[in-house]
């Protein structure tokens, strides 16, 4: 059975039931790909830099087999100013992505580049582009190295823009006080997802993987 290894941050990560309704899209992917084993190695707070520094890719390298897939999706924490996380999009971020790619190829696995999901930030009714150059770097690197590109940034912007500022609230962690035990004071978070959002993005990812005959 083919295995999909997921490398990424909190938007892709899995969460325990006591953190409900927070859900990463990688958490939902396996349910949509019954013929594939999904190993979700995404971890909240990680950038390309910290993921590599903690040896997380090295652990995957020891397990991944020819024909498996390595899905790589970072940006949110690479933008962070903390020195243990931050990367520059056109230099260190790009260099780190190449490490992920080279590791997969060395093991005869298929690297898949994945752009980050958009943040739900509107101004005057228009969804804002908040992630800078990082998605562009991912797209360019995928083209240069002839790799599959799952452009979730473009797809999520299409979905969120189509829903608009009010309806898109249902996808993100906007919670009323007392609505969920884990969040007694409520939450207003335009980056992370409720289950509805994670299911939406996982559905788009699963459909793309099937269309590309990768899963």
CATH number at residue 96: 3.40.50.1110
Average confidence score pLDDT of the chain = 97
CA-CA-CA-CA torsion sign (202, 160, 44, 195):
negative
For helices 152-167 and 195-211, angle between their N-to-C axes, nearest 10 degrees: 150
Confidence of residue 65 (pLDDT cuts 50, 70, 90): very high
Burial 79-101 (b: 16+ CB within 10 A, else e): beeeeebbbebeeebbebbeebb
Distance of alpha carbon 116 from alpha carbon 76, whole angstroms:
8
pLDDT at 203: 98
For helices 94-106 and 134-144, angle between their N-to-C axes, nearest 10 degrees: 40
- Helix (H) or strand (E) run with residue 113 in it: strand 110-114
Confidence of residue 101 (pLDDT cuts 50, 70, 90): very high
pTM summary value? 0.97
pLDDT, tens digit, for every residue of 27-43? 999 999 999 999 999 99
pLDDT at 54: 98
**How many C-beta atoms surround the C-beta of residue 148 within 10 A?**
16
Which range marks the domain in which residue 75 is found? 3-211
Number of domains the chain contains: 1
pLDDT at 26: 98
Query: For the chain, how many helices (H) and strands (E)?
Result: 7, 9
Active-site residues: which are they? Answer: 10, 188, 192
Phi then psi dihedrals of residue 137, to 5 deg: -60, -45
> Helices marked H in 34-179 — which ranges?
48-53, 56-61, 94-106, 134-144, 152-167
Burial 178-209 (b: 16+ CB within 10 A, else e): eebeebeeebeebbbbbeebbbbbbebbbebb
For helices 25-32 and 195-211, angle between their N-to-C axes, nearest 10 degrees: 50
Mean pLDDT to the nearest integer, 82-87: 98
């Amino acid at each position: 059975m083919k295995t999909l290894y997921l490398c990424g941050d909190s938007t892709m990560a899995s969460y325990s039931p006591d953190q409900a309704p927070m859900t990463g899209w990688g958490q939902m992917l396996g349910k949509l790909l019954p013929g594939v084993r999904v190993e979700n190695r995404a971890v909240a707070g990680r950038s390309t830099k910290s993921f590599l520094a903690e040896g997380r890719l090295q652990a995957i390298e020891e397990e991944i087999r020819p024909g498996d897939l390595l899905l790589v999706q970072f940006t949110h924490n690479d933008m962070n100013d903390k020195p243990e996380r931050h990367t520059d999009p056109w230099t260190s971020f790009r260099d780190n992505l190449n490490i992920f790619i080279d590791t997969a190829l060395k093991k005869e696995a298929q690297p898949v580049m994945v752009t980050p999901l958009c943040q739900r930030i509107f101004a005057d009714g228009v969804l804002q582009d908040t992630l800078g150059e990082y998605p562009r770097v991912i797209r360019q690197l995928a083209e240069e190295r002839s790799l599959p590109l799952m452009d979730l940034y473009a797809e999520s912007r299409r979905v969120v823009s189509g829903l608009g500022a009010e309806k898109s609230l249902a996808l993100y962690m906007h919670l009323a006080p007392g609505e969920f035990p884990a969040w007694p004071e409520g939450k207003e978070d335009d980056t992370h997802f409720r289950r509805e959002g994670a299911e939406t993005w996982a559905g788009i990812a699963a459909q793309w993987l099937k269309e590309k005959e990768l899963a």
